[in-house]
Structure 1
């Protein structure tokens, strides 16, 4: 039995009115771990158990680490999650809630990942947060569920960090015969490694993540995400932190669902009736979730001194 659940797909009257077209929400925020990450992480963890692995190691400051911790608790496998110093106290508490060990190391995910890699042994395996074919296959089940519901999206809107969700959704579109359905890939200013890479024609490594959307904080997108962004109809959009935060607040008011700014970035396109949506009806937004943000966090990040007024 899969570790993830089938999540609701619903048409949002408020977002549809704001966007001027039908907007569907795939509510991945309702996964047991709080985000879509559990789809791919669950597939990977179950695969590695069958291969005889006895310990899971994760390098994640947030949702992937929580998903690994949850999977480990369900599979009775010990988990160590290495997180950077920027990881919130809430994220660390949620990881520990599932019995995982938390080690804090470095100022960014890259530092945490380097330590995690050094901890591997014959019986341990690293669960990468976004760059693993097993993850992409697991994330693709999201599209399988949409296809079974007989809703054919005119476009899929999703947020991009390292690009695992993008790679998985494109895989899902292709295996359901929806090769022509475009994906609108959304990032925030200061966490826009995909947009900068597409502009440059090569993968760009950001000097630092300056956005409040830390879940989008991969300084470089995966090779697979960069490749599918060029082989599939993908449009890259970058929004300011302020738009992402405002979208989080509106979703909370209208749907009683709290998500992180990383997810708010995608919702912002509908709330702001972005021109990029103009050609499409039946727009599907992946509400990717994020359990590490609180209402107080959103309010604090919205202060001009924090978000830069962006």
Structure 2
């Protein structure tokens, strides 16, 4: 492989595998396809949107606020473009994420308790030092980049197969916006999206229930990469019918998300973070079956697409720590 990075016309992300899971398929009674975004160079789907944005705006020096995954994507892209990158993270960020960011050559600043605090500092730095601010989830170019995920799935499945639903995790809402836009691009607007958050990192669900944007008082979930206190406006608008796509907002507990991470490791031999475990828990906790019982998903369900969004904030030591903290 060449050490030369992508040109502006070439994407930074990979066309990731679409795998069929026999064990998950057996659980829900229909074929389950896994879009393995954990295999992206930066470890998560974030590289799609951030790579697309950086390729469009021709940045100079980059600053990005992140709980981990957006920062890893920004640091990776900056390294490929031979640019300096400053990543601002909250104090809740695991040390292993900081080490990985430093390995990518980024400057890391730790500011505040939650992502919102880090984001305020990133915006301040961008203005003060004339840096290019790279948002982690709230920008149309990010959503355009993330939409490529659905185009890849459509290409892999072929015209004869259409999913009966898409399951994904929601943090700030960038992936959700990208998936909705991708479904529109490929003509799958009748495919519902099951958007899953953990209790305590549930800004999207809170907004859906309230019928307005809600800012959480704090992030109490251990799924820190879902930890935006306010969902982006576009994701909320999509939830209120500003798209042709039905969005079903659901919650799982931290314990269910962590159990999903462990089960996925056992059955699929892949370790992902708790933020990703939220989506996986929709299958493992029986949530999909309950939605079918409630008539919100059809009993005869076409293949289910689960987005394995990945994550940088997990290793065996972190998994052990989470197990002890949550006592699973």
Q: How far apart, in 2, do the equivalents of 1:188 and 1:272 lie?
A: 13
Matches within 5 A, 1:71-86: 71-86=77-92
CA distance in 1, matches of 2:94, 2:139: 25
Within 1, Cα distance between the matches of 2:66 and 2:96?
A: 14
* 1:153 paired residue number: 163
**Are 2:291 and 1:276 aligned?**
yes
- 4+ residue stretches of structure 1 with deviation over 6 A? none
Say yes or no: does 1:224 pair with 2:230. no
Residue 134 of structure 1 pairs with residue 144 of structure 2: no
Q: Deviations over 1:206-228 (max 9, x none)?
A: 11111111111011100011011
Shift of 1:123: 4.8
User: Which residue does the alignment assign to 2:209?
Assistant: 199
Correspondent of 1:213 among 223, 226, 250? 223
Structure 1 residue 308: Cα displacement: 7.5
In structure 1, the gaps of 5 or more residues are none
Indicate the SS of the match to 2:141: helix
- Contact kept, 8 Å, 2:162 with 2:302, in 1: the verdict is no
Kept in 1, the 8 Å contact 2:67–2:227? The answer is no
CA contact (8 A) 1:63 1:290 kept: yes
TM-score, normalised via structure 1 length = 0.95
Structure 2 residue corresponding to 1:176, chosen from 171, 176, 186: 186
* 1:253 pairs with 2:262: no
The 3-state SS of whatever aligns with 2:126 is coil
Give the alignment's Cα RMSD to 1 decimal: 1.4
Partner Cα separation in structure 2 for residue 205 and residue 307 of structure 1 = 25
Instruction: Determine if contact 1:43/1:134 at 8 Å carries over to the other structure.
Output: yes
**What TM-score do the two structures reach when normalised by structure 2?**
0.90
**Equivalent-residue separation in structure 1 for 2:25 and 2:189 (angstroms):** 25
Distance 2:317 2:29 in 1: 31
Provide the C-alpha distance between the structure 1 equivalents of 2:81 and 2:41, rounded to a whole number of angstroms.
14
8 Å contact kept, 1:18–1:272: no
Structure 1 residues 29-108: aligned runs within 5 Å: 29-49=38-58, 53-108=59-114
* 1:297 paired residue among 306, 315, 318: 318
Q: For residues 52-80 of structure 1, what are the alpha-carbon distances to aligned partners after superposition, in whole Å with 9 as ceiling and x for unaligned?
A: x3111001120000000000001111100
Aligned residues: 304
Q: Is the 8 A contact 1:20 1:273 kept in 2?
A: no
Cα distance in 2 for residues equivalent to 1:126 and 1:24:
35
Q: Which residue of 2 aligns with 1:266?
A: 279
Structure 2: gaps (5+ residues) = 1-9
